[in-house]
Amino acid sequence: MHPAGRFRICAQAAAGLGLSAIWNFCCVGFSLAQKQPPKDPIDLNSASLEQLEQLPGIGPSTAKAIVQFREKSGPFERVEDLLAIHGISKKRLDKLRPYVVVRPPAHKSQINTGAHSCGEADFQIARSQFLFCSVLS
């Protein structure tokens, strides 16, 4: 039922019966049913289940599907990647867009050299040694 319809029925029941308890119960239930969207956009690549459930139109099962998709397919590259998740249509994505962002993964500084992974600093040292040796040759 639409929240406005529920509110109208509660008001009529409370007025007709003269019971303030019914009115209070309905108003509390009505206010709890309204989910407040997050103030700052949520990063799809780091958001927890609880954070995803703050998004309008996202319940526990869709939040779980988002996390599972991220774990299986890797980090999101763009917000539109949400369309690959069952239950997220173009219309729902348009409603979510102001509340979500995609930031690059936090640990992008690892470089795969084939034989082993090294950090950015190791790579810069090896690169400068290579350039130095090339100049001397």
Per residue in 12-29, pLDDT (tens digit) is 544 555 555 444 444 444
CB 109 within 8 A of CB 120: yes
* pTM, 2 dp: 0.54
Residue-wise pLDDT tens digits, 68-120: 999 999 999 999 999 999 999 999 999 999 999 999 876 644 444 444 444 55
Identify the residue with better confidence: 137 or 103: 103
Handedness of CA 23, 29, 35, 36 (dihedral sign): positive
Predicted confidence at residue 21, as pLDDT, reads: 45
| Residue range 35-58: mean pLDDT, rounded | 94
